[in-house]
Structure 1
């Protein structure tokens, strides 16, 4: 079961998504260059939106995305709670190795976190080279497991609690004792760790359930994305302008000196963007509720339905804009076509393979979209149930996409959610 969402959204004088040189991202398509907004940019803004219908208000916690999770969310809170820093660093390192690489931490490396050469940098050394996506329940469990490991050795290694400086290793700690403590900290059962993480509710976080999570170990579950997000692009050839601007030094104006303290240019574009998202409903329910994909209809689907309803609102109203202070890049979709069915999804991007003429671009885009949908239906048959919300010249579009009339975005949001609830 798939829910497909297609939108058309117009933005004037904006710089929605920049490349490494500061220019608007672009895409060659159909023999012409189009302005583009990357799927990564879109998902970032959807995840972090905190207004009405925000995903973070759905009742499941969002994931923690950081290189510093083990330092900031595991080790430092334990040290703040009074646990000896040398043991905290060692057990956090051992857990990090088990989670991210499947490997048991070596005795030497773990001991180095107990008696590091540079104590001031020891916590920083727990950071990962790349961003790691961990759910709050996973982080909470890892932190509690670390505390349990340390509590278990309190009687065996009282020297750590007797240290005058709890943030550093005891001055009279020898390497043999440090090695014995390292062995205790790195003794982590891969099987138990994997089983307990799997048993957590909403383990990886709501956004990871929606947009997926890469994992290179067998312990930390990899999650396939339930929402497939295409790069948005303009239905017409790129329209851009190099904007020349200055910053005026107001304390020198009127003195005969030049008032410009800064002279720069920036890329500004305008366009009607086509955006496409596919929701794999069984996978969404499976990821959120932690059930096998094949059993999704037997699972509690209330949260997945609520997420779907929220996402329709977010897709149509949340702008992925940079340069907000100077361009106010806020726009709502002018057209939303929603489809539900079991057939293989298909993008409608090819409706705009030939660039729409830039005069009356909305009407031209509606005409191109309607013609393409009608031709697809004629070739493959009508394979989805549809709802359309749109403004402007929609008469020809409604007929072409096979709906009697347009409806509202809130109605479509509720309708897509109901498809999940009643499947």
Structure 2
């Protein structure tokens, strides 16, 4: 059996009367595929819900999984926040903002890139700030001068810190990558590749007209507020690829302890955690009706082509289209992936052992140990 270089995760998940992911006009995101307009959920939306989930299988519950924070105010809140005396902190702040955000990032928040830093990076920066404040002995000019020199050595020093740290960007960066335009050496390549989810059929949407009545205006009949929103329904195809050697490289010395649990929890999150806003008015919660896991050493390939021609908007039709396309790929390419499948309808896939979500997640967790 070849080494499992890639783990591919395919899902079919249904949502009814929701607005999962909105564009800048407040409407559902869309894409045209196969000549038909589809409802879409962006990969960024999916990844954020998986990494922020408060769930029994949340990524942050894994022992040793360092947190990370994405913000334009990392220096203001996580590095310098609460340090005293304030006048000395103000004197060193510009150098810290410029070191982290680059360019003119120290001048105003809106000019900064939204960066992702791990707990250990932020702790190192805070310790450096504390040291500079203490060494200044309250002298703001001395603090500013010392911090200016510190800024010149920043990249060299933080690079050394990162090399000695198992998860410099936290688990989030180890999974989904990081781009730092002010310091390309801090960039981390994402081993988890997430496609935009889309409906396997043409879009199903309507404009929802709704009102709100003022409870304290009994003398005035009718609605106090009249608004419209969009609601969509659909069966979505989702696709995720995990580059297993890339994941192990990013986890560094923590890989033997973290790689298996990370894959175990990620499979649970993909199947069970729903994207979506308007929680109170749409309850946008769904679970995968079908999940197919594949492990192999050949280049991954999406099964989206199964739905280029829109299928009927039901699980039976979608599963038939997916399994038919997969069989055609197997006949043509014979890439020999190992497979596990979860199906609420008990669809049979050639070469795919059926199982529960727990069994699929447990199997995924064994894959890193099989890499030499």
C-alpha distance in 2 between matches for 1:325 and 1:182: 50
Q: CA deviation at 1:94?
A: 1.7
Unmatched 5+ residue regions in structure 1? 110-122, 161-168, 170-177, 291-298
Q: Is the 8 A contact 1:100 1:219 kept in 2?
A: no
Partner in structure 1 of residue 259 of structure 2? 304
C-alpha distance in 1 between matches for 2:148 and 2:79: 16
Q: Deviations over 1:165-195 (max 9, x none)?
A: xxxx6xxxxxxxx3x5422221122423321
C-alpha distance in 1 between matches for 2:158 and 2:268: 38
Partner in structure 2 of residue 115 of structure 1? none
Q: 2:196 aligns with which of 231, 255, 267?
A: 231
Relative to structure 1, the CA distance from residue 417 to residue 325 in structure 2 (aligned partners, 3 Å threshold; closer, same or farther) is: same
Partner in structure 1 of residue 332 of structure 2? 379
Partner in structure 1 of residue 57 of structure 2? 53
| Secondary structure, counterpart of 1:52 in structure 2 | coil
Q: Deviations over 1:286-319 (max 9, x none)?
A: 11226xxxxxxxx742211111100100000001
C-alpha distance in 1 between matches for 2:214 and 2:158: 60
- TM-score, normalising length: structure 2: 0.91
> 2:251 matched to 1:246?
no
C-alpha distance in 1 between matches for 2:126 and 2:337: 47
Q: Deviations over 1:345-383 (max 9, x none)?
A: 11001110000023xx21110110011001111111133
Partner in structure 1 of residue 92 of structure 2? 91
Partner in structure 2 of residue 13 of structure 1? 17
Q: CA deviation at 1:68?
A: 1.0
| Secondary structure, counterpart of 1:77 in structure 2 | coil
Partner in structure 2 of residue 64 of structure 1? 69
Partner in structure 2 of residue 133 of structure 1? 116
| Matches for 1:272-351 after TM superposition, within 5 Å | 272-289=235-252, 300-351=255-306
Q: Is the 8 A contact 1:71 1:127 kept in 2?
A: no
Q: Is the 8 A contact 1:95 1:186 kept in 2?
A: no
Q: Is the 8 A contact 1:14 1:270 kept in 2?
A: yes
Relative to structure 1, the CA distance from residue 73 to residue 348 in structure 2 (aligned partners, 3 Å threshold; closer, same or farther) is: same
Q: CA deviation at 1:241?
A: 1.2
| Matches for 1:365-376 after TM superposition, within 5 Å | 365-376=318-329
Partner in structure 2 of residue 142 of structure 1? 125
- TM-score, normalising length: structure 1: 0.81
Task: Pick which of 196-205 and 304-313 moved more.
Answer: 196-205
Q: How many residues align?
A: 363
Q: CA deviation at 1:128?
A: 5.7
Q: CA deviation at 1:125?
A: 4.9
* Greater RCO (CA < 8 Å, at least 6 residues apart): 2
Unmatched 5+ residue regions in structure 2? none
What RMSD, in angstroms, separates the aligned Cα atoms of the two structures? 2.2
Partner in structure 1 of residue 147 of structure 2? 185
> 2:174 matched to 1:214?
no
Q: Is the 8 A contact 2:298 2:335 kept in 1?
A: no
Q: Is the 8 A contact 1:238 1:271 kept in 2?
A: yes
Q: Deviations over 1:111-156 (max 9, x none)?
A: xxxxxxxxxxxx98578623111111100001101222233343xx
C-alpha distance in 2 between matches for 1:252 and 1:128: 46
Q: Is the 8 A contact 1:24 1:269 kept in 2?
A: yes
Q: CA deviation at 1:265?
A: 1.5
> 2:230 matched to 1:264?
no
